[in-house]
Amino acid sequence: MISLREKILNTASNLFQTQGINSTGVDTIVAAAGTTKMTLYKYFTSKENLILAVLEKGHQDFQTWLNDNLNASTKKPSEKLQILFDFIEEWVTSPNFNGMGFIKASAEFPSEENAVHQLSSEQSRQFRQYISTLATEANIHDADGLALQLSLLFEGAVQAEQMKRGSGAIKYAKTAAKILIDGAKKAS
Amino acid sequence: MDIFNSEWLIRMLEKSSNTPQGRILNLFDILGDWLAAPNLHVILSAHISSHDLLTNYLSKQATAMHAASPEILAEHIALIAHNAALQTASEPNGNHLKHAKVAANALILAQTQKQWASPKSIHSKRTIYGIAASFFVVGLTIAWLPTFLQTSSQQNIVVALDVMRKDNSTEIKTAAFASNSKNLSLSAHEAATMYAKYEQMRNGTCQFPEAIQIPDRDKAVYLENVVGGKLPSNLKDLATANIYLEKVRCNFTPMLMANSVG
């Protein structure tokens, strides 16, 4: 049985993804979670802290899912980079896809001074670093450069899919990723 | 000024190249210069929409180069440029726009490769030759980039395409040359190989053959198009330059490591 804290977190996560963060009021969250404002603030102290907790959980869940699937698919580092985009395509094209938390949050909180924006940027960097680590394990010479190229491709494709579901952007991003990965492998 | 909705940016792109690919890829150089300009209060919009001036303009360019899904390509490239510009604004030395340009070029290849790999979708041999020639020249251009970039970061990697498009007869001749070089059906994989060569040369210290060893008839081409990094303007020079480009030797041992050998 999930705790009340988790229930609030999951409810807020669903509402943020489907309605937007700024458009979702605390009243809506407590009503949907079947709790009170007092309980919500007991666990999260403010809406901003709730947003940060939702972002952290969402990113952690995504990274764990991706990592588990990658490790279950292959042990060869050189194959993991390309397979990474297979899983991302699977995720983006699934009916439950509602966008990427840190990408949406970054757009809703554009000010660099904002804590939500700062966490979004940090998660974007963490994802890039994750790709860079895979590239390093695959003996890619310019692992950071390739990671930057692939993360820009990936984030752009996710945003395009957020704007228009089924756009096919992720399909072309996957082909482009293969071109970039093959090129980087040959250069190494 | 919201750069992604500015007519100034469209004007800059329009005059930056004679080819749609060139105009798309120059976006990243123009944004880089704009962000680096002194005393400029940079304002970047928080969102990119499918209706802004830039996305519409990119969509027209993507249509002109027969992309599989022009609107998707335009939106995706606008988003990549927007994200890279935002990252550059907060981290000016991160090379985000340079890598964004590489990613965008791969995306263009991904959206256009099928059309020339499958002749059924093309109406005439002339078109096939033209596209094959374009990719061949893009490949050569990429191989030239290390010296090319030294001379001017503003120059477009598809300048060669401009030359091709200006003169249709040259386009056909270049296709024939590409055929002789077994490059007529340049695939995405082969384009990636060109990337690899470019990346390799960029990461090394390259030694060019001494000009005195070059026959007089080729000397001007060698100095201008290989050492100088300026793209040849005709087919004959292109073939000659390619021969000497193959003779450039590069050392990829890091300087510190090479100097520390006891």
pLDDT for the residue A95: 86
What residues contact residue A105 under an 8 Å CB cut-off, 6+ apart?
Answer: A21, A51, A55, A116, A117, A119, A120
β-sheet bridge partners, residue B231: none
User: Which pLDDT score is estimated for B243?
Assistant: 73
3-state DSSP assignment of residue B220: helix
pTM listed for this prediction: 0.67
Give burial (CB, 10 Å; 0-12/13-18/19+) of A3: exposed
**Confidence (pLDDT) at A152:** 96
Residues B187, B141: contact at Cβ < 8 Å? no
Could A180 and B96 be called an inter-chain contact, meaning their C-beta atoms sit closer than 8 Å?
Answer: no
- Confidence (pLDDT) at B156: 37
- Cβ–Cβ pairs < 8 A, chains A and B: 117
Contacts of B95 in chain A (CB under 8 A): 145, 148
- What are the tens digits of pLDDT across the range B176-205? 333 343 444 445 555 555 555 655 565 555
For the segment A133-139, the average pLDDT, to the nearest whole number, is: 95
Q: What is the pLDDT of residue A104?
A: 87
pLDDT band, residue A8 (cuts 50/70/90): very high
Say whether pLDDT at B119 is over 80.
no
Closest CA to B82 of B46, B118, B130, B120: B46
Interface of A with B in 69-88 (CB under 8 A): none
- Average pLDDT estimate for A102-110: 87
Q: Report residue A164 as tokens.
A: 């228009």
Residue A177: pLDDT band by 50, 70, 90 thresholds? very high
- Of the pLDDT bands very low, low, confident and very high (cuts 50, 70, 90), residue B242 is confident
* pLDDT for residue B246: 73
Specify whether the CB–CB gap between B19 and B66 falls below 8 A: no
Q: Are A127 and A151 in contact (CB under 8 A)?
A: yes
A184 interface with B at CB cutoff 8 Å: yes
Indicate the range of A68-82, B43-57, B191-205, B230-244 predicted with least confidence: B191-205
Least confident residue range of A86-90, B97-101, B173-177: B173-177
How far apart CA A177 and CA A84 sit, in angstroms, is: 10
Percentage of chain B lying above the pLDDT 70 cut: 43
Mutation pick from A148, A163, A174 vs chain B, by most beta carbons of B within 10 Å, is: A148
Highest mean pLDDT among B84-88, B90-94, B241-245: B84-88
Given this model, what pLDDT does residue B123 score? Answer: 43
Is B135 in a helix, a strand, or coil? helix
Measured CA to CA, the distance from residue A41 to residue A123 in angstroms comes to 25
CB A29 within 8 A of CB A51: no
* Nearest chain B CA: its distance from A34 CA (Å): 34
Return d(Cα B71, Cα A91) in angstroms, integer.
23
Tokens representing residue B202 in the block: 């960029």
Alpha-carbon gap, residue B61 to B69, rounded angstroms: 12
| pLDDT tops 50 at residue B155 | no
Helix axes B96-117, B188-202, angle to 10 degrees: 150
In the structure encoding, which two tokens stand for residue A92, read together?
């983006």
* Average pLDDT taken over every residue of chain B: 68
Look up tokens 């809703």; give the residue: A108
Q: Which of A2-11, A55-64, B215-224 is predicted with the least confidence, judged by mean pLDDT?
A: B215-224
Percent of chain A, pLDDT > 70? Answer: 100
What's the confidence (pLDDT) of residue A2?
82
Confidence of residue A87 (pLDDT cuts 50, 70, 90): very high
Task: Using an 8 Å CB-CB cutoff, list residues of chain B that contact chain A.
Answer: 46-50, 68-69, 72-73, 75-77, 79-80, 83-84, 90, 94-96, 99-100, 102-103, 106-107, 109-111, 113, 188-189, 191-193, 195-197, 199-200, 203
| Model pLDDT, residue B127 | 47
Average pLDDT over every residue of B115-131:
44
Output the furthest CA–CA distance in chain A (Å, rounded): 59
Over the stretch A37-85, which tens digit does the pLDDT of each residue have?
Answer: 999 999 999 999 999 999 999 999 999 999 999 999 998 888 899 899 9
CA-based nearest distance A67→chain B, Å: 24
